[in-house]
Amino acid sequence: MYEPESYLQALQRKHAANWPNLVSARERASAKRGELRNALAGKDSEDTSIVVFGSLARDEFTNGSDIDWTLLIDGFADTQHLNLAKNIREIVKTCSEKDPGPEATFGSMAWSHSLVHLIGGEDDTNRNTTQRILMLLESTVVGRREAYDRVRNHILDRYILEDSRFVSKDAKYRVPRFLLNDFARYWRTMAVDFAYKRRTRDQKGIAIRNIKLRMSRKLIYVSGLLACFGCHLELGVEERNALFDDADAKRQATVFFRDTLQRTPLEILSGVLLRYPHLHPTASSILNAYDAFLGVLADDDNRKRLEALLPAQQDDDPIYQHLRQISHRFRDGVLDLFFDVESGLFELTKVYGVF
């Protein structure tokens, strides 16, 4: 079956670039999702979806990557749901080298009511926020998607249709501030949780988590910001206004963001970089760095070394220092992108990213 060229592939062809690690990770992710889909066939239903997150959903799967998954339930409570989750857990273990993290954010059940209705406030726990934001930014299904699609649509309806300024006809920019603020909140939460995990896990895995925060975690925030800016960047004035003519039309705004967020973070980023030819050097800087990052993580010895590395050893470790330099190139490229004047990103970043 013919597959249309992705934004990342188009960018690689346009720049005559060589990003072998990005290609390999994408192929490995596709193969692993196919393996899971076959192994878990018949375990889901119209009211349940098996959702995967992380590198497997982002098309960045490498040797040693874990499989973060959730049984998403959008229906009546059933006493068998727990047994089903346990069964799924045992099957996933046969396909994965690692278990989900000890915080139990993944590897169990998630209920649609909490994800849709508990946005903000004291009942919006760290776990609930993480699952909701990642449901939008880095997730996909490995089977039936009815429940998954319903829940994502309902979450986006909350963010888009309840943002009175965004749907107002006299809005200067078409940027959903409610959604953007929650993406920003999650990014800051990840940064704070890095310090929390450093303490509670006795420094275990601190080096690799630090590098992931600089690279893959930052990438999902970048893609969230670009997705929120997309309505303004990708559509002309008449197209934007047509999304807000009446109540039914406003729902098309939800569809716009749903379609945008169905892409992986790298696809969202690549789509923006393709749009602006003058950002050719910036595109090369960002994606060369990200390809190098995945290449280091794909090496079993490097990954094990990073997982065992203690803070006192980091300054003298060549692999860690190499990754730090890669992360600096990635950071500098991202800053060039968001503070670019010609594309209009500078103005959007100033208005929505600062205050």
Domain limits, the chain: 7-354
- Judge whether 329 and 284 are in contact, CB under 8 Å: no
pTM of structure: 0.93
Regarding beta strands 69-73 and 108-111, do their DSSP bridges make them parallel or antiparallel, or are they unpaired?
parallel
Q: What is the predicted pLDDT for the residue at 180?
A: 96
Question: Tens digits of per-residue pLDDT, 106-158?
Answer: 889 999 999 999 999 999 999 999 999 999 999 999 999 999 999 999 999 99
pLDDT of residue 247 exceeding 70, the answer is no
Residue 127, exposed/middle/buried by CB under 10 A (0-12, 13-18, 19+)?
middle
The pLDDT assigned to 1 comes to 46
Q: Is 75 exposed, middle or buried (0-12, 13-18, 19+ CB in 10 A)?
A: middle
Contacts of 190 (CB under 8 A, 6+ apart): 213, 217
pLDDT at residue 241, rounded to an integer = 72
Alpha-carbon distance of 131 to 186, in angstroms, equals: 10
Q: What is the pLDDT of residue 232?
A: 84
Residue 336 CB-half CA count within 13 A: 17
- pLDDT for 132 equals 97
Band (pLDDT 50/70/90 cuts) for residue 198 is confident
pLDDT of residue 194: 85
State mean pLDDT over 85-113. Answer: 83
Question: Does 26 score more than 50 pLDDT?
Answer: yes
Helix/strand/coil for 69: strand
Mean pLDDT over 52-62 rounds to 96
Within the chain, strands assigned E span 48-53, 69-73, 108-111, 139-141
322 membership: H or E segment, kind and range:
helix 318-338
